[in-house]
C-alpha cells in the first residue's frame, strides 16, 4: 500500500518573511565580515601593529573601559610591551608611548584638535571649554575665563583657600582626638569641591557647596559620582544613548538606572548655582548682577574678545557642571595620594616636617603660598604626588591634521586619532626608574636631571588645552600639605599594595569601590569602629 505524504504549504506572506529575514541576516553577516576585513587589511592604518580585534571593531575599547571597569589604560600598557611604541587600539585610533612624541601633539599652536565623539561623552555640552573640538572656539572661550584662573587671580584669592584649609585642619584635629582616625580621601575631595564652587560661583561664600561641614565630607555625593561616571563609556560607544538621556527628566531615569538619575541630579545641582546668581533677563540672555565671578565675564566680555559669542544661562550651566566635575576628582586625589605616601614613608615624613619647621619656626604663623612654593622638598613631594596621581590617567586622543603625521617611522594619515596618556608618561622606566616608588629625590637638584623630567611631567597635560585650573590646584596642594605636615607629626596609615592602589578610569579616576583605604590614624589614640 502506497503511503502519500501531504505536502506542506506556506502562505505567500510567510515565505516572503522567511526569505527577507534570511536575506537581512546574511547581509548583516556579510557586511560585518567585509568591514572587519577592510579594517584589518586595507584600512589606511592597517600597517600599524596591534591586535586584530582592536583593528576590526571599536567594541575592543568599549570592552576594556565598560566591562572591565576602566582598565583600558592597563591593557594599552600591555599592548605597548608587545607591539612597540605605536599601537592601533581601534579601527581609527592609535596610542603612542614614546615620551618624545608628546610635544609633537600637545604644544602651543598645535593643529591637532579634539575628537568630538570622545569628549562629548564626558562633557555637558558640545561647545564648553572642555568639550569643544574647535581650537578656535576654545581659544576665544579660554581668553574669557583665563584671567579668573590665572596665577595673579589665585594669589588675590588665597584667603579663600586658607580659610577652607584651616577649617579642614580643625576637623582633622577634632576627629583624631574623638575617634583616633579620619578618612582623608573624602575630606580632601570635599576641600577641592568647596574651593572650586566658591571660587567659580562667588567669592563671599554663598556659592560654596560646604561639603567640609558635612559629617561624612560629602561621601554620599562622591559615591554617587563614581556610580554615574562609567556611563560616559556607554555614551561614547553609543552616542544616541546620550542624546536620549539628556532629554529625559531625572525622575524618569530613576526607574531605569540609579547612575543615570544621579548624572542628571549632579547636573541640576551645578545648574542651580548659576540660576541662583540673581539675574535679570535681557533679550533672552541672563545678565548676572551680584559679585564678580568668571560667569560675569562670560556673559559680558564687553566685545573685548574677537569672535566670542555671549552664552545663554544654559551654556553657563554646562560650563559649571564641567568645572565642578573636574575639580571633584583631580586635586582631591592628588592630595590623597601625596599624603598617603608621605605618611607611609617615615623618612620622607621626617624630612618634610623638618623643612617646614625650619621655614615656619612659629607653628602659628601664616603659611603663605608664595613662601611654601619655594621650599624644595615640599615641591618635590608635591610633584611626586602629582606624578603618581596622574590627573587624567587614560588617553587624551587628538585628530591628526590635514598634513598627516609620522611617529616612530609610522606614517599616519589625516583624520586618524592619536593619543597619549600620563600613565605611560609617568611610568616610563628610562625617565622615572622604579616608577611605582614614591621618591621625591628624583625632583631635587643634583640628584637627577630634574629639569629635563619637567618636559615629561604632564598631570595637567600641555599645550593650549592644558588644565586651566592648574594654578588653583597648586595653591591648594601647597597650603593643605604644608599645614598638614607642619601641624601633625604622629599620623600613621596601613601600607597598601599596588593592587590596592590601582585605579578605575572613568576619565576621572577612582579607587576600587568598597575599599575604605585612606583612614589616617593618630598614634597612641584608642581607635573606634567609625570609618572616619
Which residues, at least 6 apart from 208, have a Cβ–Cβ distance to it below 8 Å?
194, 197, 198, 201
The span from the CA of 169 to the CA of 485, in Å, is: 11
Question: Which residue range is the domain that position 301 belongs to?
Answer: 47-279+292-522
pLDDT greater than 60 at residue 125: yes
Q: Give the lowest-confidence range in 100-109, 125-134, 226-235, 263-272.
A: 263-272
Dump pLDDT digits (tens) for 479-507: 999 999 999 988 999 898 888 888 999 88
> Tell me, what's the pLDDT at 465?
87
pLDDT greater than 90 at residue 342: yes
- Does the residue 532 lie in any domain? no
The total number of residues shown for the chain amounts to 532
> Tell me, what's the pLDDT at 375?
97
The span from the CA of 405 to the CA of 417, in Å, is: 11
Dump pLDDT digits (tens) for 412-455: 999 999 999 999 999 999 999 999 999 999 999 765 555 689 99
pTM, full prediction: 0.86
CATH code (residue 454): 1.10.630.10
- Does the residue 232 lie in any domain? yes
- Does the residue 31 lie in any domain? no
Which residues, at least 6 apart from 82, have a Cβ–Cβ distance to it below 8 Å?
none
Contact call for residues 474 and 375 (beta carbons, < 8 A): no
Dump pLDDT digits (tens) for 376-387: 999 999 999 999
Question: Higher model confidence: residue 527 or residue 198?
Answer: 198
* Alpha-carbon separation of residue 36 from 52, 75, 450, 518 (angstroms): 9, 21, 46, 46
Provide the angle, in degrees to the nearest 10, between the axes of the packed helices 346-359 and 470-487.
100
According to the per-residue pLDDT averaged within each range, which of 125-139, 271-285, 511-525 is highest? 125-139
Q: What is the pLDDT of the chain when averaged over all its residues? A: 82
Mind spelling out the 3-state secondary structure of 159-228?
Answer: HHHHHHHHHHHHHHHHHHHHHCEEEHHHHHHHHHHHHHHHHHHCCCCCCCCCHHHCCCCCHHHHHHHHHH
Mind spelling out the 3-state secondary structure of 32-49?
Answer: HHHHHHHHHHHCCCCCCC
Cβ density class 417-430: b for 16+ within 10 Å, e for less: bbbbbbbbbbbeee
- Does the residue 28 lie in any domain? no
> Tell me, what's the pLDDT at 124?
64
pLDDT greater than 90 at residue 352: yes
- Does the residue 154 lie in any domain? yes
> Tell me, what's the pLDDT at 211?
86
What does the pLDDT average to over 301-312? 53
- Does the residue 308 lie in any domain? yes
- Does the residue 65 lie in any domain? yes
pLDDT greater than 80 at residue 276: no
> Tell me, what's the pLDDT at 288?
42
Q: What angle do CA 146, 152, 157 make, to 5 degrees?
A: 100
DSSP state of 411: E
* Residue carrying C-alpha cell 597648586: 474
Report the relative pairing of strands 93-96 and 417-419 from DSSP bridges: parallel
- Does the residue 457 lie in any domain? yes
Dump pLDDT digits (tens) for 308-332: 555 665 666 667 767 766 766 789 9
The span from the CA of 459 to the CA of 387, in Å, is: 7
Number of domains in the chain: 1
How much of the chain, in percent, has pLDDT values that exceed 90?
44
> Tell me, what's the pLDDT at 424?
96
- Residue 467 assigned ligand-binding role: yes
Amino acid at each position: 500500500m502506497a503511503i502519500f505524504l501531504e505536502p506542506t504549504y506556506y502562505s505567500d506572506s510567510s515565505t516572503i518573511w522567511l526569505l527577507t529575514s534570511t536575506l537581512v541576516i546574511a547581509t548583516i553577516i556579510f557586511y560585518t565580515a567585509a568591514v572587519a576585513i577592510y579594517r584589518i587589511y586595507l584600512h589606511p592604518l592597517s600597517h600599524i601593529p596591534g591586535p586584530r580585534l582592536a583593528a576590526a571593531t571599536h567594541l575592543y575599547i568599549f570592552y576594556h573601559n565598560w566591562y572591565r571597569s576602566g582598565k583600558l589604560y592597563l591593557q594599552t600598557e600591555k599592548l605597548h610591551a608587545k607591539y612597540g611604541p605605536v599601537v592601533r587600539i581601534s579601527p581609527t585610533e592609535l596610542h603612542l608611548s614614546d615620551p618624545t612624541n608628546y610635544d609633537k601633539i600637545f604644544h602651543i599652536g598645535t593643529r591637532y584638535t579634539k575628537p568630538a565623539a570622545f569628549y562629548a561623552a564626558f562633557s555637558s555640552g558640545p561647545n564648553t571649554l572642555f568639550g569643544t573640538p574647535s581650537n578656535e572656539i576654545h581659544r576665544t572661550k579660554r581668553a574669557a575665563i583665563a584671567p579668573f584662573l590665572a596665577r595673579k587671580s589665585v594669589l588675590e584669592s588665597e584667603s579663600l583657600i586658607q580659610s577652607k584649609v584651616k577649617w579642614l585642619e580643625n576637623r582633622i584635629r577634632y576627629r583624631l582626638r574623638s575617634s583616633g582616625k579620619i578618612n582623608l580621601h573624602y575630606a580632601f575631595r570635599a576641600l577641592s569641591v568647596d574651593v572650586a564652587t566658591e571660587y567659580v560661583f562667588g567669592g563671599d561664600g554663598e556659592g560654596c557647596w560646604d561639603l567640609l561641614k558635612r559629617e561624612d565630607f560629602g561621601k554620599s555625593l562622591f559615591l554617587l559620582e563614581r556610580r554615574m561616571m562609567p556611563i560616559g563609556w556607554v555614551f561614547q560607544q553609543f552616542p544616541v544613548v546620550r542624546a536620549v538621556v539628556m532629554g529625559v527628566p531625572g525622575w524618569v531615569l530613576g526607574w531605569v538606572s540609579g547612575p543615570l538619575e544621579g548624572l542628571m541630579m549632579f547636573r541640576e545641582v551645578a545648574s542651580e548655582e548659576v540660576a541662583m546668581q540673581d539675574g535679570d533677563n535681557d533679550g533672552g540672555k541672563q545678565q548676572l548682577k551680584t559679585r564678580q565671578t568668571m560667569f560675569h565675564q562670560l556673559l559680558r566680555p564687553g566685545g573685548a574678545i574677537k569672535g566670542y559669542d555671549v552664552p545663554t544661562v544654559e551654556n553657563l550651566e554646562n560650563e559649571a557642571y564641567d568645572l565642578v566635575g573636574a575639580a571633584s576628582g583631580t586635586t582631591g586625589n592628588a592630595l590623597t595620594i601625596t599624603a598617603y605616601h608621605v605618611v607611609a614613608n617615615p623618612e620622607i615624613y621626617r624630612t618634610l616636617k623638618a623643612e617646614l619647621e625650619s621655614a615656619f619656626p612659629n607653628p602659628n604663623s601664616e603659611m603663605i603660598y608664595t613662601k611654601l612654593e619655594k621650599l624644595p622638598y615640599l615641591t618635590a613631594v608635591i610633584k611626586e604626588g602629582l606624578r603618581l596621581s596622574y590627573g587624567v590617567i587614560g588617553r587624551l586622543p587628538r585628530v591628526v591634521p590635514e598634513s598627516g603625521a609620522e611617529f616612530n617611522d609610522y606614517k599616519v594619515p589625516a583624520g586618524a586619532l592619536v593619543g597619549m596618556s600620563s600613565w605611560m608618561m609617568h611610568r616610563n622606566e628610562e625617565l622615572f626608574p622604579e616608577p611605582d616608588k614614591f621618591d621625591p629625590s628624583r625632583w631635587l637638584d643634583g640628584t637627577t636631571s630634574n629639569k629635563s623630567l619637567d618636559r615629561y611631567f604632564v598631570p595637567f597635560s600641555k599645550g593650549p588645552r592644558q588644565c586651566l585650573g592648574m594654578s588653583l590646584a597648586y595653591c591648594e596642594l601647597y597650603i593643605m600639605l604644608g599645614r598638614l605636615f607642619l601641624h601633625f607629626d604622629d599620623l600613621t596609615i596601613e601600607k597598601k599594595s599596588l593592587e590596592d592602589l590601582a585605579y578605575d578610569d572613568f576619565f576621572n579616576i577612582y579607587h576600587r569601590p568598597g575599599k575604605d583605604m585612606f583612614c589616617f590614624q593618630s598614634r597612641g589614640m584608642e581607635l573606634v569602629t567609625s570609618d572616619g
